[in-house]
Chain A
Amino acid sequence: MSDQGSFRLSPERAAERVAYSISLRKRREKRFLFLGKFAVAVALGFLVLLFAGILSKGIPGLFQHYVTLDVQLDAERLDPSGQRTIESLADGDFDGVVRDALYEVLGGPTGRKAKRQARKLISSGSGQRLMQHVLDNPDQMGSTVALQFAVDDDVDTFLRGLISRDTPEADRRVSDQMISYIDLLQAEGRISYEISDYLFFGSASRDAEMAGIRGALVGSILTLLVCIVIAFPLGVATAVYLEEMAPKNRFTEIIEININNLAAVPSVVFGIMGLAIFIVIFGMPRSIPLVGGIVLALMTLPTIIISSRASIRAVPPSIRDAALGVGASKMQTITHHVLPLAMPGMLTGTIIGMAQALGETAPLLMIGMVAFIVDVPSGVTDPGTVLPVQIFMWADFAERMFIQKTSAAIIVLLAFLISMNAAAILLRKKLERRW
């Protein structure tokens, strides 16, 4: 320590130290790499778990059991006044006709109790289904046709093997008598397991076998339409003004900060505002996609504004200078050059905002769209609900078949979301310009 020479390292020592520090650095690098890979693996693992869980439960939910019955389309019974219109068919005894077809297959159950057990096999919507068939095929009146009817949800659960035959009769929702009927129908090959048409073409129902997502899907589309019609032009206009025209002063700074603040406001707050303004002050009805769309538009506005501003900023100033240089006005510069070039980024931001709006339920709670709504909305002022709400409601119903239906609806929602994101990526790929 005392003499100077000891401060100088011998070449061997120096090489050793360098080698040591290099190996240390390499080890750190490896650890860093490992952490990164680990994080990705964890994220992917959760994603796989999520998808495996949803798909394994949901794919069975896309199917359901049907029973084929030979139905006599007796004009006397189905259409007493013979006009073949919805009004005259409403008086027809469709339920009775389906029931008779069922009794015949089962060998004519006698007694009130046996008939009641037989009736419990098929969905309570079978009469309606027959009526729809007659409306679609009026020329078949008078003949006998083989039609498929959904089985009751308890029978479906039993056919899936989720209710064991070994449990005592009192403890299961399918009686011995019903099981013997089901065996009879299966022996005759009348029971089939097919893609559920109710799931895609049916609307909300408390009968699990008839429940479908059509109403919610249409509601979601209507809500998003209103949302995009309001949010996109407003968002783009705001972004253009703030980026291209607004003077940089205190006032615009405050606006900027508040747009960013707005992006962080919890979505349920927008719902409360929607209730207070659109329903209470403007007197719009509850539960309509119009109000839902407006509320969601306010929610997605900041997302659209922020992404639009970023993409306008990404347009090189040389483009503007060139346009101005050849004599274009400010507005021509914006509409002819800046906007077309910024459009892909704006659209991407908008689609991501819409995807976010598609998954929201909290703001819709206050304005009455978290509700059980059977009729499919035919316009933005008809009551409607949205897909995530439908999933939420199904998850809470006691009937067991709703468990599979819930997962099936989640699959549809995910497919919707993934296709929206895919559209965003495609748009960007297609329209993007690089300098």
Chain B
Amino acid sequence: MFVRIATAAALAVVLSSPTVARDYISIAGSSTVLPFATIVAERLGRGANQKTPVVESGGSSVGKKGVCDGIGTEFIDIGNASSRMKTAELEYCEKNGVKLTEIKVGYDGIVVANSKNGTPLKISLANLGKALTAEVAIGGKMVPNPYKKWSDIDPSLPDAAIRVYGPPTTSGTRASYAEIVNEKAYCKKDADAKAALKASGKKAKTCRAMRTDGAYVEAGEQDNLIVQKLQEDTNAYGIFGFSYLDQNSDTLQGAELSGVVPTFDAIAAGKYKASRALYFYVKHQHVGVVPGIEAYMTEWTKHWGDDGILADAGMIPMPDAERDEMADRMKNRPVLVAADLK
């Protein structure tokens, strides 16, 4: 008898539910944007009559693909990304009939840091690229990275083994780092590297590969793990987002890259080159269907200023002009088209 009743109850639960409408905003994407998006979501939820948006992680690609998957409440409303949408990704959106507006919310710096008890690192971006990219130019050819010590690259660098903890391939931080440092600062700038790439017929994009011989250690998606490792291992360096350096400024020091120390002001002024913009993508068809999307966007504008709580949490604010432009976008919601991404 019990079994029969329980089965009936289970069936009733399963069958009665599919018509539930979603009355909360669903957001997913970049784990770099997540800490900031959650702060905004929580503040929005503290107001009356508004459910707190649900923010999922997953990575930039999950955010950009997820928001484009289709129209309807089973899909997310807003996708977070720490790298801009690519034309191919936008095509997928258009194929599914999804219209998006792109909103930039701020910047995040990528830092190379080590323990305060270790040797501070002062290095040019090109040399940093040489230290960690999989193949470097030696004698006019691209060869597997032979550098064991920092001082092998440049005698002025520390006489210590190269050991850098960083994020794995799924991470947006890793993708941005490889693009900014390995590709743009080394392979596209360094004369030897350019010649060697040309000689071997390889594209500069191939430089994005990080070395796999143990000098670069993939430490998992969790930046906190890297921070803990650095506190124990004073000879090692780590690559992570600026907010983690900001929170641990009493035990960690950021490396000076091409003469610029990673500080809040240097990143905000654009002097510190290893930084990227943070975005979110709003689906037009859901505005007005899922309640609160406009309020969520407005909530960002309350906190993204120089004195706001997002800056306290380590996000680098945009200049005033850019903030005004984005606030306008939130109101008018221009549709993102391929031409914008060029």
Task: Give residues in A with beta carbon < 8 Å to B.
Answer: 86-87, 90, 124, 128, 163-164, 167, 170-173, 205-207, 226, 229-230, 232-234, 236-237, 279-280, 282-288, 290, 294, 335, 365, 368, 370-375, 380-381, 383, 393, 395-400, 403
Contact B243 A398 (CB under 8 A): yes
- Are B42 and A374 closer than 8 Å at their CB atoms? yes
Report whether A372 and B17 are in contact in the complex, using a CB–CB cutoff of 8 Å. no
Q: Closest approach, in angstroms, between the C-beta of A428 and any C-beta of chain B? A: 19
Also in contact, A237 and B54, with CB within 8 A (given A285-B74, A375-B45): no
Q: Given contacts A172-B249, A283-B73, is CB(A294)–CB(B48) below 8 Å?
A: no
Q: How many A-B Cβ pairs are below 8 Å?
A: 133
Please report the C-alpha to C-alpha distance between residue A237 and residue B6 in the assembled complex, in whole angstroms.
Answer: 11
Give the complex CA separation of A282 and B13 in angstroms. Answer: 14
Residue contact B51 to A375, C-beta cutoff 8 Å: yes
For the complex, is B311 an interface residue (Cβ under 8 Å from A)? no
Determine whether B35 belongs to the interface, using a CB cutoff of 8 Å to chain A.
yes
Given A368-B26, A374-B41, A290 contacting B248 (CB threshold 8 A)? no
Query: Shortest Cβ distance from B271 into chain A, in angstroms?
Result: 18
Given contacts A229-B13, A237-B7, A374 and B20 within 8 Å (CB-CB): no
Complex: how many Å from CA A408 to CA B14? 35
14 intermolecular pairs with C-beta atoms under 8 Å apart = A87-B48, A173-B249, A205-B42, A226-B13, A279-B74, A284-B18, A373-B55, A374-B42, A375-B45, A381-B20, A396-B31, A398-B241, A398-B243, A398-B247
B170 at the binding interface (Cβ < 8 Å): no
B18 touches A372 (CB 8 A): no
**A172-B7 in contact given A87-B48, A283-B72 (Cβ < 8 Å):** no
A398 adjacent to B13 (CB under 8 Å): no
**Given known contacts A237-B3, A374-B45, A395 and B224 CB-to-CB distance under 8 angstroms:** yes
Complex contacts, B22 vs chain A, CB 8 Å: 285-286
Interface residue tally on B, bucketed by range = 35 or more
Given A171-B249, A285-B73, A372 and B13 contact (CB-CB distance below 8 Å): no
Closest to B247 in A: A398
Q: Is A372 in contact with B14, judged by CB distance below 8 angstroms?
A: no
Complex formed: what's the CA distance from A139 to B247 in Å? 42
Q: How distant is A10 from chain B, measured CB to nearest CB, in Å?
A: 65
Q: Cβ of B46 and Cβ of A128 under 8 Å apart?
A: yes
Residue of B nearest to A297 (CB): B10
Knowing A371-B55, A398-B247, say if A282 contacts B10 (CB, 8 Å). Answer: no
Residue of A nearest to B314 (CB): A398
Known contacts A167-B250, A396-B223; A287/B51 CB under 8 A: no
Q: Are B248 and A284 in contact (CB under 8 A)?
A: no
Given contacts A230-B10, A383-B54, A397-B35, whether A284 and B20 have CB atoms under 8 Å apart is yes
> How far is B2's CA from A335's CA once the two chains are assembled, in angstroms?
10
Most-contacted residue by chain B among A87, A365, A368 (CB, 10 A): A368
